[in-house]
Amino acid sequence: MEDQPAKSAIVTTRHTFLKTDGHHLFTVRAGVPVELALEQACILLDCTQRVVLNRENLGGDIQTNCLQYLTDMIRALVNASSAGLAEYERTSS
């Protein structure tokens, strides 16, 4: 039997984002360990920083679109993690 990583007691809540024409296109799934979600948010922040630092090489529209998607994803991961932490604290008391 393979060793399974320890499951975090603190997990994300479902969080939809990037609403277009009244439809949410993406969702952070509930039940993802907060550590993993925040790690992915950090990776996306690194990507965002690279886009900003290389802005001279990108067209304005491309940069704007990239930054919008990246920041929406980061915000969703952080919000889902924060809500998961609040839920954990509420139910653990």
CA torsion sign, 38 to 43 to 45 to 46? positive
- Looking at residue 77, its pLDDT comes to 96
Enter the pTM of the model: 0.80
Of the candidates 86, 80, 7, the one whose C-alpha atom is nearest the C-alpha of residue 41 is 80
- Looking at residue 11, its pLDDT comes to 97
Average model confidence (pLDDT) across the chain = 88
Residue 34: band (very low, low, confident or very high) from pLDDT cuts 50, 70, 90: very high
5-34 average pLDDT score: 88
81-90 average pLDDT score: 95
pLDDT surpassing 50 at residue 5? no
Residue 31, by phi and psi: left (phi above 0), alpha (psi -120 to 50) or beta?
A: left
